[in-house]
Structure 1
Amino acid sequence: MAAEILPEVKQKEQEEAAKKEEERMKLAKQLAEGKIPKLDEILDDSDEEPEPDAVIEIPLKKVKLVVGPGGEKIKLIEKKSKARLQIVKEEDELNRAFGSGPVKPVLPKPADTEEGPKMTKVMIFGNANQCEIAQRMIEEAIDNKEQKAKQRQKEYEKKRDAKARDRQLYHMRHTRDYETLELPIGASRVEVKAAYRKLAKLWHPDKHPDNQEEAKERFQKISKAYDSLMLTEEDARIEALAN
């Protein structure tokens, strides 16, 4: 995709075009008057495509990062570096566009090979300093995106590991509570409620008139385990961590 040319660059190109047109008119006048123009005036190679002052390769998948939404990023690079950039399009795209009139530029679709990601070239026009600045900004545009993605992945993994540690510590602190309710460590709230109802009915003192002291002790222990697992702020926090 060719970058949009900055106003100052466009003005310079217009001035050069006007100068070439003036030279052509002068040459035509000389020929009309029967004069023989100089050889260097005839062999004008100014219409040839200028050679880029620097060329770098970037993965096709990263072209959008250099161009940016609506071409904003590549315009910013050109503005700050004062260089002109042009991203080389694939030959098949040029062939499809040939003879069809103006077409909207389309970014090449990435097609990785076994040798690595498919690459495209970015041509840079400017002096050595301008090319260096442009190249650095292009590399930063690509690396910053990758760095942000890596950072997000690290943050996600850090939070995930923290949740896992907190849940493990929570379960370890309440190991006896789970054992009292005859549940495996990490049982759900539904399972805790069901186990409590079952054991509370089983060990209610009214059902053990001949052994109320032991039944009362067991009932209180069951109730305490239930309260510890269900009626604390820590329980709400661990439920949030589990999501």
Structure 2
Amino acid sequence: MTAITVDIINKSYPAAGQACLHRAIADLKLSLPSNEFICLVGPSGCGKTTLLNIIAGLDRDYSGEITVEQQHKAPKIGYVFQNPRLLPWRTVRENITLTLPSDYDPKTVDALLETMQLTQAQHVYPERLSLGMSRRVSIIRAFAVDPDVLLMDEPFVSLDAPTARQVRELLIGLWQQRPHTVLFVTHDLREAIALADRLIFLSSPPMQALSEIRVDIPRNIRDDETAIEAFRQKLLQDHPEIRALL
């Protein structure tokens, strides 16, 4: 059971061509419950990737505190980047097992490959993969470490709609097999509604949390585009401040 508390007072960095600092995040407070699929929605450039990097511990140059509550052990964090970041000289399977301990169970990798429909491609090199397949490999790699927290930074960007939908369904299938806390960054509201238990809307810089909304559409009808659109329209009607973020 892993919950995350975010309290970032300030995150700034030098702005290109300017003498002053760019303030990316200011007074951001979030409480992220255990085992929820949470989508962070905000405009491009608002600092969503910066926030994930801070939570992952990749960026420590900020004022504030990130608390990851985990019983009995240090939490394991998986990260799926916008770019799949596969090593071209390693096969699909080798890319997945690269970060695993030497005594890992091969059956775990086999099961992930099967769920993501990549068993037949496990010995293929990345140059022969489509973008959608490469993104599925990066998701498997993150799941293979058995994470307590999974960070996903717009992992389906640039995919065509049918491929993105297929990968989303495979992702949810994996997550439901072993629920854990997921933070999924996107600027696509329909995608967020299709995936999330909870939506958190983030402002333009300096980033702040504007709204937090639960998605009450049953999981078994999340593939119904009519239901997704009806929820989206009601959401925009009830929360007009969100329109400016999309």
Point out the structure with the larger helix share. Answer: 1
Q: TM-score, normalised by structure 2?
A: 0.19
**Bigger Rg over Cα:** 1
Higher relative contact order (CA 8 A, sep 6+): 2
Point out the structure with the larger strand share. Answer: 2
